[in-house]
Structures are given as C-alpha cells and as structure tokens.
Amino acid sequence: MKGEPAPPDWFTEGYAHIWMPYTQMKTSPPPQAVKSTEGCRILLEDGRELIDGIASWWSACHGYNHPHIVAAIKRQAEAMPHVMLAGLSNEPAFTLAARLAAMTPGDLNRVFFSESGSVSVEIAMKMAVQFWLNQGHEDRKKFIAFKDGYHGDTIGTMGVGDPDNIMHGPFSGLMPEQLVVELPRTEAEMAAFETFVAENAGICAGIIMEPLVQGAGGMIFHEAETVRFVREVCDRHDLLLILDEIMVGLGRLGSQFACTQAGVIPDLMTLSKSLTGGTMALAATIASERIFDAFYADELERCLMHGPTYTGNALACAAANASLDLFETEPRLEQVGRIAGHLAGALEPCRDVPGVVDVRVRGAIGVVELDALGDMYWIRGRFVEEGCWVRPFGNVVYLMPSFTIEDAELAQLTDATRKIVGEWSERHGA
Ligand code: PMP
C-alpha cells in the first residue's frame, strides 16, 4: 500500500518459498515481519510494536528474551549445544529430569524428552500401549479421548483429538480410530461415560485428556470434579490416565500444574510450551514408577523403542532449567492471579455485546466466545492497528499473555478486545 515501507529482502525472497502453518497461502494476508522481541512486545521490521496477547502460542510465559534464559542458552551453546542421548548423557538433561520428577506430583518420576508437544503425546501413547504389551495384553491399543480435545497435529495425536475439528476432520481414515466421546460433566453424563468405559476398557490402554481447559479445541473449561471423576473411572477399570498439560501446565491456571489444582495424579503427563519459556523446542513425557517398572526388565524387547535425534537436547534443556529457575525466583503464580483478576473485570462488558455467546476467564486465559468468527483476518488486522498481537480461531477471541505482562500492556490488550469485539458485532449484525 502507498506510504507503507517495503518489506525487507529476507521477507520478499523467503515468502515465495516458505509454507506457513494453518495458512491458506492464497488468501491469507502476508505475515508481519518481525525484527525482534522484548518483554511482552514484538518489534516489527517497519518500526511498529505489538503487545503480544498470546505469548507465541502460549509458550513465552516469562516474556521474551528473559536475560536469565538467554544467558543460560549462550553458556550452553558455547559448551555443548547437543550430544545424542543414547549411550551419552549431558548435565542439563539429567538435571532437568531430576527437577521435573521433584516438581510433579506423586511418583511421576521418569522423564522422556522430545522436541514438540505432539511428539510427547505420541510417546505417552506408546508408553501406555507398551505398558500393557509388556504384561501380556496384546489387545489394549485404543484410547478413550474427548470431543473438543486437542493433543497435536501428528497422525497419532489427531486420532485422540476432536474428530470434527477443521484441523483434523478431513484426515479421518488416516489415523487409527480412537474412542472419542463427550467429556462427562453432569451426573447423567458421568453414569453414561462409566458404562461406555466398562464396555470398552478391555481394548483400551488408557484415557487421555487436557485437564481443566481444552485449549485448541475452543478454550472450553470444565471443573476439577470432571478430572477427578475420569481418574476414578480409570482406577475402577484399570486404565491409564494421560494428562496433557502442554498448555495448562507450569502456571497458566495459577497452580504449578492443572492436575494438582484438581487433586489428581495421572500415570503419564506431557509438558511443553512454558517448559523453556518459549525459547527452544522441548517437550517432556513424564511417567509414574508403575509405568516405568513395566519396562524395567532383563529383556531388551521390553524397553521403550523410541529415540528422537534431539531427545535431551542440551541447549533446550539448559533453557528449560533456566525457565524453571524463574518459576522459583519470580512470582509467577501471583502474576497469573493478577492477570486473571484483570481479564475477568475488563472482558466482562463484552458479554452484553450482541453476538457474544460467552465470556470466561480461568487463570491467565481470557476468552470471548462469538456466535461466529466471520472474517478472522479482519479481526487480526484490527488488533495489529491497535498495537496488539491476537490470533482468534474457531469462534473464540482469546488472550493468553506472558505472566510478566505489565498492567498497562494488559489494559491495552483488553481495551482493544472490547473495542474490536464491539466493531465486529456491528459488522456482523449489518
Ligand atoms: N497438546 C496441547 C494441549 C496443546 O495445546 C498443543 C499445542 N497447541 C499440543 C498438544 C501440541 O504441541 P506442539 O504444537 O508442540 O506439537
């Protein structure tokens, strides 16, 4: 457009070749060209600054470029960025494993590292299936999972996500078919769910769920009671419980883990996102002693035959150790409480806007649910004009900022949200 500075060469040359995520390359406006980040801000090549409302897909929990994490990465890069983990070891990975074992509840004591949330869920699923195989159960290879759930985009994880969502629906038939049912909330639903589980437990390895908030499937909340009930059902029918804490774990809901808030200990837990504070690709699958014991044997074939090239990557684990330091030394959970209070008050007026179906807040997640999103590019563009980076999906506009966001920055995000939801409503109604 006239008057706008030309994008830098790297953008123009690369945009002809890169394939962007979740993007219709033909119709989507080009992405913003980012020069650098600082605190909760994204600095664009053209000189504008955006306040990040979603912390780079919910990962940058300490804000960007936190000096403590940056220093740890620099030190590690100079000493040893990576060595393979089979037959070799490295201090950051071992230290991180011990720290995660100490932090997580119960006897979740064995940590397997991978490089993405999806892969960590795949590993949890393999561990659960092989747990049964190693005890002579050949038929327990299915999972019970929940509508509106999301556990990743790889083929295995698509199978345990909502089969009807736009991301995974078209691939039905590709992934192994799993038993995906409504999350039981009411007493009647709980009874029906238990009957269903009783009928199918014999062919299942376990149940997988996102505790307290189903994220990418629509930012849908459920109560601790539901998580507890699913745990009890697992116990009654001898199923393993996998809790995917990739989004909610490490503070997002105001407690270290969502499961501790619900008073539940899973058999397997997955973590990623906040683990390295949004700096390096790293995920962890954490297993209980009971799971690990089923693999601990004289026979080679009982071991877990899994080993991604970058498992236990020293650079990523050093970043994660530094990220965990910050959870210990800076007041993250109080910050989440403050963000929750602000979001609840500041988003509430959206409830009266025609076309708004719901406003809900849990921890540092604020959601304005619309009856239909309509033109998401328009909404995204309007946020950019207001100096904010927010990326609605489905029919939800949501904020999930860094825990370190300043009050004025948060107010700018919520002011923009109220304003843009109002404008959306007028356009939408017209
Ligand atoms: N599980 C949950 C709950 C997630 O929110 C995500 C990512 N949005 C994933 C799994 C997949 O993680 P990744 O994108 O790192 O593969």
Model confidence over 275-296: pLDDT tens digits? Answer: 999 999 999 999 999 999 999 9
Query: 295 and 254, same structural domain?
Result: yes
- Residues 10-28 have pLDDT tens digits of 999 999 999 999 999 999 9
Residue 193 forms part of a structural domain: yes
277 lies in a domain? yes
Q: How far does the centroid of ligand 1 lie from the alpha carbon of residue 117, in Å?
A: 5
User: Phi, psi at residue 131, to the nearest 5°?
Assistant: -55, -45
Residue 375 banded pLDDT, cuts 50, 70, 90: confident
**Ligand 1: does its nearest atom lie under 6 Å from the Cβ of 114?**
no
pLDDT tens column, 234-287: 999 999 999 999 999 999 999 999 999 999 999 999 999 999 999 999 999 999
Q: Do 39 and 89 belong to one domain? A: no
- How many domains would you assign to the chain? 2
| Dihedral angle sign, alpha carbons of residues 20, 22, 27, 32 | negative
Residue in the block written with tokens 């699958």: 285
pLDDT of residue 5: 81
Same domain, yes or no, for 321 and 345?
Answer: no
What is the domain-level CATH number for residue 95?
3.40.640.10
Quick one: 154 and 264 in the same domain? Answer: yes
134 plus 179 within the same structural domain: yes
Averaged pLDDT for residues 366-384: 93
Q: Give the rounded distance of the alpha carbon of 88 from its chain centre.
A: 30
Pocket perturbation via mutation, ligand 1, pick of 208, 222, 272 by most ligand atoms within 8 A of CB:
272
Q: Are residues 123 and 177 in the same domain?
A: yes
Give residue for tokens 């997988």. Answer: 208
Asked whether 247 lines ligand 1 (CB < 6 A), one says yes
Please identify, by atom number, the ligand 1 atom nearest to the C-alpha of residue 154: 16
Question: Does a structural domain hold residue 4?
Answer: no
Distance CA 214, CA 210 (A): 6
**Is residue 254 assigned to a domain?**
yes
pLDDT, residue 184, reads 97
**Could you tell me if 347 and 254 lie in one domain?**
no
Contact call for residues 241 and 206 (beta carbons, < 8 A): yes
Reference 144, options 231, 63, 217; nearest CA is 231
Do 52 and 122 lie in one domain? The reply is no
The alpha carbon torsion through 376, 379, 383, 389 (nearest 10 deg) reads -10
- From 329, 357, 382, the end of a domain falls on 329
Same domain, 324 and 335: no
Q: Which of these three, 297, 329, 361, is where a domain ends?
A: 329
The Å distance, Cα 183 to ligand 1 centre, comes to 19
* pLDDT over threshold 80, residue 120: yes
pLDDT of residue 3: 64
Please report the atom of ligand 1 found closest to the CA of residue 273.
Answer: 15
Lowest mean pLDDT among 53-57, 101-105, 174-178, 403-407: 174-178
Q: With respect to residue 167, please indicate whether it lies within any of the assigned structural domains.
A: yes
Is residue 164 included in any domain, yes or no? yes
CATH of the domain at 13: 3.90.1150.10
pLDDT at 1: 47
Question: Binning pLDDT at 50, 70 and 90, where does residue 2 land?
Answer: low
Distance from the alpha carbon of residue 6 to the mean position of ligand 1, in angstroms: 35
2 is a domain residue: no
* Contact present, 67 and 38 (Cβ < 8 Å): no
Which of 284, 301, 329 terminates a domain? The answer is: 329
Residue 81 has pLDDT above 60, yes or no: yes
Q: Please tell me whether residues 228 and 279 are part of one structural domain.
A: yes
137-171, pLDDT tens digit by residue?
Answer: 999 999 999 999 999 999 999 999 998 887 888 89
CB atoms within 10 A of CB 77: 13
Q: Is the CB of 272 under 6 A from ligand 1?
A: yes
In contact, 112 and 284? CB cutoff 8 Å: yes
Q: Is residue 148 within 6 Å of ligand 1 at its C-beta?
A: no
Boundaries of domain holding 171: 67-329
Q: Are residues 283 and 178 in the same domain?
A: yes
The mean pLDDT of the chain is: 96
Say if residue 112 is in the same domain as residue 93: yes
Query: Does any ligand 1 atom lie closer than 6 A to the CB of residue 278?
Result: no
Top mutation candidate among 246, 250, 285 for ligand 1, by most atoms within 8 Å of CB: 246
In a domain, 43, yes or no: yes
Q: Whose alpha carbon is nearest atom 2 of ligand 1?
A: 151
Is 60 exceeded by the pLDDT of residue 430? no
For the record, the structure tokens of 6 come out as 């030309």
